[in-house]
Amino acid sequence: MMSTASTSITVSGLDVEVLYKDIKNLHISVYPPAGRVRVAAPERLDEDTIRRAIVQRLPWIKRQREQFQGAERQGARQMLSGESHYVWGRRYRLDVSRTSGNHGVKVSGGTLWVVAPEGASAEERLAVLERWYRRELKAAIPRLLDHWKCLIGVEPRHIGVRRMKTKWGTCNPDNESVWFNPELAKKNPRCLEYVVVHELTHLQERTHNERFVELMNGFLPDWRVRQEELNGAPLADEDWR
């Protein structure tokens, strides 16, 4: 099992989480929604070396943070009629006026209907909607996988959907499993395709090194545009993530 140790450092006024791992290369990541910065560093590296690496990447880090912090955010979800919600990149107005003994979600015109028993709480209506998002995503993934796994030359053993706070998708090359964030059902389908290609490519190359970039450029030439589109999409309020 990979060993890890963590610490926090401040570089040019920026708080950075550092995770020491049994890896070969240093990786810097910036995560939505607030632009949290994390460094995965080989156990052999000293703090001064890590600080120099962060300073060298400061312009890129700042651009990523500005992009996340400037992204449109949805207001706090109260699950009341009139709220804006997103389905596959399109904005809809929520309507919870219909009640029934059966739970359900329907998209019609510009309206997202969430049907729940009369007197249902906001949390119960949200649970209905989140289950629907999961079903939407699970229905969309197989077609993309069938197409891309052949082109990339991989065969994942397990595909799943799970909520993640900082990632749109993740994979474990050791057991060939790939997971997708149900939040993707709110984004443009182009973004889901980018994440599918990204994670499947990690089954060929574990890290974000030059080979990974070359593979992505070959498989999906506009992947950087899609990545920016995904990271610039409206972010769900943290209280409801």
How confident is the model at residue 74, as a pLDDT? Answer: 52
Q: What is the mean pLDDT of residues 188-199?
A: 96
> Is the pTM for the entire model greater than 0.95?
no
How confident is the model at residue 157, as a pLDDT? Answer: 93
**pLDDT digits over 5-22, tens only?**
778 899 988 889 898 988
How confident is the model at residue 30, as a pLDDT? Answer: 87
**pLDDT digits over 96-140, tens only?**
999 887 889 999 999 999 999 988 999 999 999 999 999 999 999
Q: Can you tell me the distance from the alpha carbon of 203 to that of 170, in angstroms, rounded to the nearest whole number?
A: 10
Question: Is-contact 4 38, C-beta < 8 A?
Answer: no
Amino acid identity of 187? Answer: K
CA separation (Å) from 47 to 3, 10, 23, 125? Answer: 18, 11, 16, 48
Q: Could you tell me the domains of the chain?
A: 4-70 (no CATH), 84-240 (3.30.2010.10)
Which pLDDT band holds residue 24 (cuts at 50, 70, 90)? confident
Question: Is-contact 54 217, C-beta < 8 A?
Answer: no
- Interhelix angle 210-219/122-152, nearest 10 degrees: 90
Total residues found in the chain within this entry: 241
Which pLDDT band holds residue 201 (cuts at 50, 70, 90)? very high
Amino acid identity of 178? Answer: V
How confident is the model at residue 240, as a pLDDT? Answer: 31
Task: Give the percent of the chain with pLDDT over 90.
Answer: 61
Q: What is the DSSP string of 208-233?
A: SSHHHHHHHHHH-TTHHHHHHHHHTS
CA separation (Å) from 214 to 28, 43, 198? Answer: 19, 27, 12
List Cβ<8 Å contacts ≥24 apart for 140-148. 140/185, 140/189, 140/192, 141/180, 141/192, 141/196, 144/192, 144/193, 144/196, 145/196, 145/200, 148/193, 148/196, 148/197, 148/200, 148/219
Q: Can you tell me the distance from the alpha carbon of 110 to that of 222, in angstroms, rounded to the nearest whole number?
A: 30
Pairing of strands 158-161, 177-180: parallel
Range of weakest confidence among 81-90, 200-209, 211-220, 229-238: 229-238
How confident is the model at residue 23, as a pLDDT? Answer: 86
